[in-house]
């Protein structure tokens, strides 16, 4: 028999600002219930290899023994990334590959997995193979996890995009330039959509628009022509592009410049790919708050024996209520199904997001 008073926690997949805040919350909430927490180092790779580090210890006070968080846990909430490290573990794609992890989990009271869709798919597979509760927490800057209106990391990523675009607009105005700024998001265009509104972009390009390369180029050319038409006085053009749009940023800029040669020859068009910058940074208030409340709900779920579920933030109706009105539990099978629908566009959430962008598209470039 293993030590069933220790919960294992791991972070997996693309890191997201706020993961550390979730780790701290899990550690403090568990300690408050007299339960230890072991951090698995290196995501699912660490689980397979048994690489863990204690996040709590036991002290003996006048009133008796108690479980307390390691002092450094307090400091980690403000840090970006994940102090436990992460990995993309291909062995987790098969039951045979997962077997050592299933065996390793037997000695814990349960496992909390903090990550995006790939990580939650691993948690779902594990839940079906091991005897202890497995609970997921959505953490992905892409905001492509079903049953959670926001995953941990999204708000910080958007703040980073806003700050970066504000800086780019400073120099764009100085030279009356057009910039195409590419943001992360994998197949999901949410960061580009929400970011475009926040930064006052003149146009936004995202995969869910379903445009051909020619239509993408047309949209960019039209935005620049409209902005730099005589007499408008606009000094900059900012086009946000989601990385899921298949045309590479530099190719898009070249094709746009070729089209503008005839009637706007003097306009400079530049490309900036924000890349992993969008994933870094100290977590915002919003991400720390969501991380803390999801962490609390995840520990409660494990200790109640709930497994194969994810705790979602302001998710759809139908989740299992928790003590937190903004947090509910959703079966991981449903989460993964909804996540797939978010990406293939059949989800009502995606349709609402696209509909909202169509509503503002005509205004963006004014």
Question: Which residues contact ligand F6P (rule: CB under 6 A)?
Answer: 14, 116, 140-142, 184-186, 243, 279
CB of 162 to ligand F6P, least distance (A): 17
Q: Give 19 or 221: the residue with its C-beta nearer to ligand F6P.
A: 19
Q: Give 143 or 209: the residue with its C-beta nearer to ligand F6P.
A: 143
Maximum CA extent, the chain? 83
Q: Give 29 or 242: the residue with its C-beta nearer to ligand F6P.
A: 242
Q: Is 138 exposed, middle or buried (0-12, 13-18, 19+ CB in 10 A)?
A: buried
Q: Give 157 or 302: the residue with its C-beta nearer to ligand F6P.
A: 157
Q: Give 185 or 295: the residue with its C-beta nearer to ligand F6P.
A: 185
CB of 279 to ligand F6P, least distance (A): 5
Is 15 tagged catalytic?
A: no
CB of 354 to ligand F6P, least distance (A): 19
Report whether 85 contacts 14 (CB < 8 A): no
- Between helix 348-364 and helix 190-199 the angle, nearest 10°, is 30
Of the candidates 15, 142, 144, 202, the residue annotated as catalytic is 142
CB of 268 to ligand F6P, least distance (A): 28
Report whether 116 contacts 151 (CB < 8 A): yes
CB of 235 to ligand F6P, least distance (A): 31
Active-site annotation, residues: 142
């Amino acid at each position: 028999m293993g030590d069933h008073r220790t919960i294992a926690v791991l972070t997996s997949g693309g890191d997201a600002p706020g993961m550390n805040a979730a780790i701290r919350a899990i550690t403090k909430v568990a300690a408050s219930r007299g339960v230890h927490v072991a951090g698995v180092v290196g995501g699912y790779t660490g689980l397979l290899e048994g690489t863990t580090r204690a996040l709590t210890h036991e002290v003996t006070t006048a009133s008796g023994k108690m479980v307390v968080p390691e002092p450094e846990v307090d400091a980690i909430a403000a840090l970006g990334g994940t102090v436990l490290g992460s990995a993309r573990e291909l062995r987790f794609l098969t039951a045979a590959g997962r077997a050592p992890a299933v065996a390793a989990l037997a000695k814990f009271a349960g496992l909390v997995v903090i990550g995006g869709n790939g990580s939650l798919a691993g948690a779902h597979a594990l839940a079906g193979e091991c005897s202890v509760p497995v609970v997921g927490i959505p953490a992905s800057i892409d905001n492509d996890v079903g049953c959670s209106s926001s995953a941990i990391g999204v708000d910080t990523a958007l703040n980073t995009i806003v700050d970066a675009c504000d800086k780019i607009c400073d120099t764009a105005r100085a030279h009356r330039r057009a910039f195409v700024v590419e943001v992360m998001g994998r197949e999901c265009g949410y960061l580009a959509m929400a970011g475009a509104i926040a930064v006052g972009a003149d146009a936004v390009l995202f995969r869910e628009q379903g445009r051909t390369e020619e239509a993408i180029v047309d949209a960019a050319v039209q935005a620049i022509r409209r902005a730099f038409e005589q007499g408008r006085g606009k000094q900059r053009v900012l086009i946000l592009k989601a990385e899921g749009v298949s045309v590479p940023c530099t190719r898009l800029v070249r094709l746009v410049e070729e089209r503008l040669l005839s009637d706007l020859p003097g306009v400079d068009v530049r490309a900036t790919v924000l890349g992993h910058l969008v994933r870094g940074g100290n977590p915002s208030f919003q991400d720390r708050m969501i991380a803390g409340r999801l962490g609390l709900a995840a520990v409660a779920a494990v200790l109640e024996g709930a497994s194969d579920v994810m705790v979602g933030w302001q998710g759809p109706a139908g989740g299992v209520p928790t003590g937190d009105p903004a947090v509910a539990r959703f079966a991981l099978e449903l989460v993964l199904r909804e996540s797939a629908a978010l990406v293939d566009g059949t989800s009502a959430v995606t349709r609402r997001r696209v509909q909202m962008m169509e509503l503002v598209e005509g205004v963006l470039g004014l």
